[in-house]
């Protein structure tokens, strides 16, 4: 046996076989499992913590806000033939009721039915409820009628959560007489901002938000998608497109108030567009939303496999046909996701709209995009600033309306996204 086995080189000493059962090795493995468990627990803890915050937010808001959708009503007996209101049922209309001084009729009837000071127990807008009832059924002006009218803010709060001793005593008295009831606050869903908490509504702000969102979507979606397509499919890579790309990415991160200042100086001061209008709000928010849509659109377009482009080009489709027949349909779900994110951000935006005057007190719902309007988040901001305690629950109720709006919008977008995904 002359041939010695190949000896290992001097600088590479032979390693002993690993002893996987040694204490050191076992400890190392135990440590690795321990850190695995720790990481899992930390993640679980984070999820539970955020779920807890969310639950707290929802519960506190629902607790305070749902009361805003109800109102306390007082049953008042009105003897129309004996009152000042001397109108034949045929002569009843909105104007004649004002001329006949309906508010005074309600006040007198309340004083009569509820005792001295009865009128102050009712909301200053109680006569509006009566007016609507009379317009619905004019025949009641010829007889004695009992009708539920909204209570004043003090009585409303005292009945719901408690208030001053006097109003609590009044509530107690009314409750014993069986005159107090709770009804659905339809006023809140049908009117706009006002000075008395029992009379304010969210409809004006809701409509303002809706109009603003429509303007934003109609501008930012087509422009954003067209920009994304151009940059991804047509633009040559050079310093100019690099600058455009960096600028768009930066725009997406610019604080929203800056966009408000931009809107103020361009749309209002330079172009003299109407102040406080949904048009200007929508334009301003479109500037803010567009970069988000461009970035999401570019990523979605980039994610379309090149083989699909090759296939279409290979049978002689023109670049435009490739984009509109193949790339865009495949990228649409991704583009829609980006649009949802951008629109949701725009819907919740307050700061830029303050700059263009959408924080004005506007007591009628906007009729179009050039009418003065406000939006839900600004309305929430304005009401949270009010002194009267009655606005607290209105603020929370408005937040609920905003969140429902947001959920509905996202739901629609998710539905559309799934629909387009299924088509392929």
Asked if 300 is part of the footprint of other proteins (rule: CB under 8 A), the reply reads no
Please state the closest distance from residue 423 (CB atom) to other proteins, in A: 9
List 79, 137, 172, 310, residue binding other proteins (CB under 8 A): 310
List 133, 308, 413, 416, residue binding other proteins (CB under 8 A): 308
Distance in angstroms (rounded) separating the CA atoms of residues 288 and 281 = 11
Distance in angstroms (rounded) separating the CA atoms of residues 421 and 319 = 23
Interface stretch with other proteins, choices 64-72, 120-128, 325-333, 400-408 (CB under 8 A): 325-333
Distance in angstroms (rounded) separating the CA atoms of residues 185 and 128 = 13
| Contacting other proteins within 224-253 (CB under 8 A) | 236-237
Distance in angstroms (rounded) separating the CA atoms of residues 223 and 389 = 45
C-beta of 15 vs 423, nearer to other proteins: 423
C-beta of 179 vs 335, nearer to other proteins: 335
Inter-residue contact 202 to 209 (CB < 8 Å)? no
Inter-residue contact 301 to 228 (CB < 8 Å)? yes
Please state the closest distance from residue 318 (CB atom) to other proteins, in A: 5
Main-chain dihedrals φ then ψ at residue 360, nearest 5 degrees: -65, 160
Please state the closest distance from residue 419 (CB atom) to other proteins, in A: 15
Inter-residue contact 292 to 221 (CB < 8 Å)? no
Interface stretch with other proteins, choices 35-43, 65-73, 314-322, 333-341 (CB under 8 A): 314-322
Hey, how many other C-beta atoms are within 10 angstroms of the C-beta on 140?
17
Under the phi-then-psi rule, with left for phi > 0, alpha for psi from -120 to 50, and beta for the rest, what region is 276? left
Task: With H, G, I as helix, E, B as strand and everything else as coil, classify residue 255.
Answer: coil
List 161, 249, 318, 418, residue binding other proteins (CB under 8 A): 318
List 261, 313, 403, 414, residue binding other proteins (CB under 8 A): 313
Asked if 317 is part of the footprint of other proteins (rule: CB under 8 A), the reply reads yes
Interface stretch with other proteins, choices 204-212, 275-283, 312-320, 376-384 (CB under 8 A): 312-320
Please state the closest distance from residue 327 (CB atom) to other proteins, in A: 11
C-beta of 93 vs 321, nearer to other proteins: 321
C-beta of 179 vs 322, nearer to other proteins: 322
> Which residue matches tokens 């090759």?
310
Print the binding letters for residues 124-163 with other proteins: x by CB under 8 A, - otherwise.
----------------------------------------
| Contacting other proteins within 381-410 (CB under 8 A) | none
C-beta of 222 vs 319, nearer to other proteins: 319
Interface stretch with other proteins, choices 82-90, 286-294, 309-317, 381-389 (CB under 8 A): 309-317
Please state the closest distance from residue 329 (CB atom) to other proteins, in A: 9
List 164, 190, 321, 364, residue binding other proteins (CB under 8 A): 321
Rg (CA), the chain: 33
Distance in angstroms (rounded) separating the CA atoms of residues 378 and 349 = 8
C-beta of 196 vs 233, nearer to other proteins: 233
Distance in angstroms (rounded) separating the CA atoms of residues 54 and 59 = 8
Inter-residue contact 385 to 414 (CB < 8 Å)? no
> Which residue matches tokens 């001793």?
165
| DSSP letters for 183-197 | EE-HHHHH----SST
Distance in angstroms (rounded) separating the CA atoms of residues 207 and 281 = 13
Interface stretch with other proteins, choices 141-149, 174-182, 265-273, 315-323 (CB under 8 A): 315-323
Please state the closest distance from residue 332 (CB atom) to other proteins, in A: 12
Q: Which two tokens stand for residue 183?
A: 């009804």
List 312, 328, 336, 392, residue binding other proteins (CB under 8 A): 312
List all residues 6 or more positions away from 265 whose beta carbon is below 8 Å from its beta carbon. none
Asked if 315 is part of the footprint of other proteins (rule: CB under 8 A), the reply reads yes
Inter-residue contact 133 to 149 (CB < 8 Å)? no
Q: How many CA atoms lie within 13 A of 18 on its CB side?
A: 4
C-beta of 5 vs 314, nearer to other proteins: 314
Asked if 311 is part of the footprint of other proteins (rule: CB under 8 A), the reply reads yes
Q: How many residues bind other proteins (CB under 8 A)?
A: 20
Strand order in the sheet with 180-184: 144-150, 70-79, 180-184
Please state the closest distance from residue 236 (CB atom) to other proteins, in A: 7
Q: Which residues pair with 71 in a beta bridge?
A: 183
Question: Which residues of this chain interact with other proteins, rule CB under 8 A?
Answer: 236-237, 305, 307-318, 321, 325-326, 330, 424
């Amino acid at each position: 046996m002359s041939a010695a086995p190949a000896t290992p080189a001097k600088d590479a000493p032979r390693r002993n076989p690993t002893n996987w059962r040694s204490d050191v090795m076992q400890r190392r493995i135990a440590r690795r499992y321990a850190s695995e468990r720790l990481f899992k627990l930390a993640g679980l803890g984070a999820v539970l913590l955020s779920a807890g915050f969310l639950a707290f937010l929802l519960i506190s808001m629902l607790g305070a806000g749902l009361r805003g959708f109800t109102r306390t009503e007082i049953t008042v007996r009105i003897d129309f033939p004996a009152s000042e209101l001397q109108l034949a049922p045929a002569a009843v209309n909105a104007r004649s009721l004002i001329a006949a001084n309906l508010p005074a009729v309600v006040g007198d009837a309340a004083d009569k039915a509820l005792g001295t000071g009865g009128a102050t127990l009712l909301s200053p807008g109680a006569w509006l409820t009566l007016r609507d009832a009379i317009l619905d059924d004019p025949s009641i002006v010829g007889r004695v009628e009992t009708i539920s009218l909204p209570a004043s803010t003090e009585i409303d709060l005292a009945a719901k959560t408690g208030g001053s001793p006097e109003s609590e005593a009044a509530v107690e008295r009314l409750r014993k007489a069986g005159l107090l009831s709770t009804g659905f606050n339809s006023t809140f869903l049908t009117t706009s901002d006002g000075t008395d908490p029992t009379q304010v509504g969210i409809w004006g702000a809701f409509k303002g938000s809706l109009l603003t969102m429509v303007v934003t979507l109609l501008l930012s979606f087509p422009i954003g998608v067209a920009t994304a397509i151009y940059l991804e499919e047509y633009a040559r890579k050079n310093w100019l497109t690099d600058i455009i790309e960096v600028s768009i990415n930066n725009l997406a991160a610019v604080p929203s108030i800056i966009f408000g200042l931009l809107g103020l100086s361009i749309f209002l001061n330079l172009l003299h567009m109407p102040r406080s209008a949904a048009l200007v709000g929508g334009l301003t928010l479109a500037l803010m939303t567009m970069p988000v849509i461009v970035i999401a659109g570019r990523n979605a377009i980039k994610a379309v496999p090149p083989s699909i482009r090759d296939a279409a080009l290979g049978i002689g489709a023109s670049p435009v046909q490739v984009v509109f027949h193949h790339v865009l349909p495949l990228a649409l779900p991704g583009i829609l996701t980006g649009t949802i994110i951008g629109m949701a951000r725009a819907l919740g935006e307050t700061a830029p709209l303050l700059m263009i005057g959408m924080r004005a007190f506007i007591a009628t719902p906007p009729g179009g995009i050039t009418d003065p309007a406000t939006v839900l988040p600004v309305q929430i901001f304005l009401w949270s600033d009010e002194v009267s305690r009655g606005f607290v629950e209105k603020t929370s109720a408005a937040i609920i309306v905003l969140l429902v709006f947001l959920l509905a919008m996202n739901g629609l977008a998710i539905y559309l996204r799934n629909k387009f995904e299924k088509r392929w």
